[in-house]
Structure 1
Amino acid sequence: MTDAIKPRSGGCHCGAVRFTADLPDQIVGLSCNCSICAMTGFIHIIVEPDQFHLEKGDGTQTEYTFNTRTAKHLFCPVCGVKSWYHPRSHPGKVSINLRCFDSDQNLSGRIVDFDGANWEKNVEQINPELGE
C-alpha cells in the first residue's frame, strides 16, 4: 500500500523561511558526511521542484557556494538555518532538511548514509540507495 502524498510544512528556526513539500508518510533521508552536511547535521529529503513550495522567505535567504560552486546553499538571514537548498548531487532538484519539518508532520522512514566526503567516488551510489 502506498502512502498518500500530502503537503508537509516546515521552515527555519525563527519562522522567516517557511515551506511545504508534497511527501508520503514514509520517506528516505540521506545522511551525508561531506564537510558542510557533517557540520550542520543536514538530513536530505530530495524532491522534484514541483513538490517544493516556498511559502515565506523568497528572495531573502543568503546564498553560499564553495568548491565547484554547483550547490546553492540557502540560509535564513535572521537565524542562519539552512532548511532547504539546491544540491550538487541532484541537479534540478531540491534538498530539504528533514530536521526542519514541523514536528507534527508524521514523517517516518529510514536514513541512508552517504559518503559525501568522497563525493566524486560515491555519487553514483546515491540514486540506488534512495530507491530511485
Structure 2
Amino acid sequence: MTGIMNNRTGGCHCGAVRFEVTLSDDLKSVRRCNCSYCRMRGSVVAAVAQDGINILQGNDILTSYRFNTRKAQHFFCSRCGIHTHHQRRSDPNRHAVNVACLDGVSPFDFPEVPVMDGANHPNDTGKPAQLAGTLHFESTSKR
C-alpha cells in the first residue's frame, strides 16, 4: 500500500457512536461526490484502509441506508442523524469516513476539495473515475 497511514478517532454529534480509523493516505485523499445522495448529504470524506474502521461504541445504534444498486452502505447515528462513514460502492471492501466526525478535524480545514463525478459512476459507465470539479473554501474570519 502506498501513502501514509494515519490512525484517528472520531464519533457522531451526540457522542453515542465512537470509532477509530486507519486512513489510507492520512487526509490527502479527501473528496466529495456529486451523486444524488452525497450531493444532498454534503460531507467531505477520506479513504479508510481495508479493515481500517473499528466501532468502539454505539454499533447497536448505527443504522444504514442503501439506494440505487444497494452496494454502497451509508452509516449514520440513529440518535443524532450524523453520517459517520460509508462502505464504498466502487470497492465494497473499503470505507470512507466523514472528516467532520474525526476528532480535531473540520471539513473547512481544506481550502480545496476534489468533487468526484459519482453521478456518472465508473461502475455504471465502464469508464475511469472522473473529477466533476473542485470545491473551494476561503475563510473570511481572522483567527
TM bucket normalised to smaller? 0.7 to 0.9
Change (3 A) 1:75 1:65: same
* Structure label with greater radius of gyration: 2
Instruction: Name the aligned partner's letter for residue 115 of structure 2.
Output: D
Deviations, residues 40-90 of structure 1 (Å, cap 9, x unaligned): 112221223332221111132112111111111111010001111212122
Unaligned runs of 5+ in 2: 131-143
1:21 counterpart residue number? 21
What root-mean-square deviation, in Å, do the aligned CA atoms of Structure 1 and Structure 2 show? 2.8
In structure 2, relative to structure 1, the CA distance for the partners of 1:75 and 1:104 (3 Å cut) is: closer
| Secondary structure in structure 1 of the residue aligned to 2:129 | helix
The number of aligned residues is 124
| Structure-2 residue corresponding to 1:114 | 116
8 Å CA contact 1:115, 1:122 repeated in 2 = no
Percent identity between the aligned chains? 37
Greater helix share, structure number: 1
Q: Contact (CA 8 Å) 2:73, 2:86: kept in 1 or not?
A: yes
**Partner residue in 1 for 2:97:** 96
Counterparts of 1:62 and 1:6, CA distance in 2: 26
- Relative to the length of structure 1, the TM-score reads 0.77
> 1:29: how far off?
0.8
State the alpha-carbon separation in 1 of the partners of residues 78 and 32 from structure 2: 25
- Higher relative contact order, structure no. (Cα contacts within 8 Å, ≥ 6 residues apart): 1
Q: How far 1:92 sits from its partner (Å)?
A: 0.7
State the match for 1:124 in structure 2: 128
Is the alpha carbon distance of 1:69 and 1:4 closer, same or farther for their aligned partners in structure 2, counting shifts above 3 Å?
closer
> Are 1:54 and 2:58 an aligned pair?
no
Normalising by structure 2, report the TM-score. 0.72
* Structure 1 unaligned residues grouped into runs of 5+: 127-132
Work out whether residues 18 and 57 of structure 1, in 8 Å CA contact, stay in contact via their aligned partners in 2.
yes
